[in-house]
Amino acid sequence: MRKILLGFILSLFLFNSVFAAIPFVFTNGTVADATEVNSNFNYFENKFSTTSGHDHDGSDSKAVLKGEWQGTIIDEAYGGTGKSSYASGDLLYATADTGLVKLSRVMRGSVLIDSAATSTPNWLSPGTNGYVLQTHGNNQDPTWENATPTFYIGSFTRDMTASSGNVTYTGVGFTPKLVIFAGGVNNLAGHNLFGAGLTTTRFAVNDGNFDTAGSYAVATTQALQVTNATGPSQAAVIASFNTDGFILTWTKNGTPSSGTATIGYVAFK
């Protein structure tokens, strides 16, 4: 019995001697002796069990090896999101070096774009069935366009005594790239025979009977010109195209006689 007790004491002595001689290296590269290692082991033994569910108490900067985080929301500047909850489909995007914003999901079929209006990611609502997404160059939001027709035929009227100004024409169903006009005042020899226009390029061919019988006049400063007397006229240029038609800028030149011009047009996609 005495020999057994002596052997046990000797084993404890040898274990402590060997354990004390083993170097331990912390993650920062420094070498720790057995006393420091034992101190750290004792800390984590007190703070955590072998099962999950125990939390760091926040009293110092020791690493958390096990457990569930239960604390305040971690801000963006510290690697967190600054958000406490989310809904299915939410997206996060940065607004600054340390700023995150939550973009909520909207209806299905929406398209995520970099909005020219807000300079941030945004949702574009779903388009009508059969429409396609049409881009318009840098710093312009895309739009949904009808993919089926490639041209549209329409008409409108213009009071020859109307004042100058912009008039919007709709119903085309897409954003035109070119519009060709034809028409004039009924039962009069002087009328617009043909005109075509882009926003920066245009021309019109007119019957010049009011000035010289059998003559024609060509104008490159407007897409549309209608006359019903010698000199005065209603002239127009295309100010802009929109998603459902175009805007004409009308100019009343002189004092045209009373009457109504009927203009037909073909808008090309």
Per-domain boundaries in the chain: 1-71, 72-105, 109-145, 151-268
Q: Tell me the backbone φ, ψ of residue 167, rounded to 5 degrees.
A: -135, 130
The mean pLDDT value of the chain amounts to: 74
Q: How far apart are CA 127 and CA 123, in angstroms?
A: 12
Confidence check: pLDDT of 247 > 90: yes
pTM score: 0.46
Mean pLDDT, rounded, for 221-241 = 82
Higher-confidence residue: 201 or 177?
Answer: 177
pLDDT tens-digit series, residues 132-181: 888 888 888 888 887 776 899 999 999 989 999 999 999 998 889 889 88
pLDDT band at 200 (very low <50, low <70, confident <90, very high): confident
Alpha carbon distance, N-terminus to C-terminus of the chain: 106
Confidence check: pLDDT of 35 > 80: no
The three-state secondary structure class of 254 is: coil
**Token digits of residue 54:** 């125990």
Higher-confidence residue: 69 or 268?
Answer: 268
The position carrying tokens 């034809």 is: 182
Give 227: exposed, middle or buried? Use CB within 10 Å, 0-12, 13-18, 19+: buried
Q: How far apart are CA 206 and CA 265, in angstroms?
A: 16
Residue 179 has a CB neighbour count (10 Å cut-off) of 25
**Token digits of residue 236:** 């127009």
* Percentage, residues of the chain above pLDDT 90: 14
pLDDT tens-digit series, residues 72-116: 888 888 888 888 888 888 898 888 777 888 888 888 888 998 887
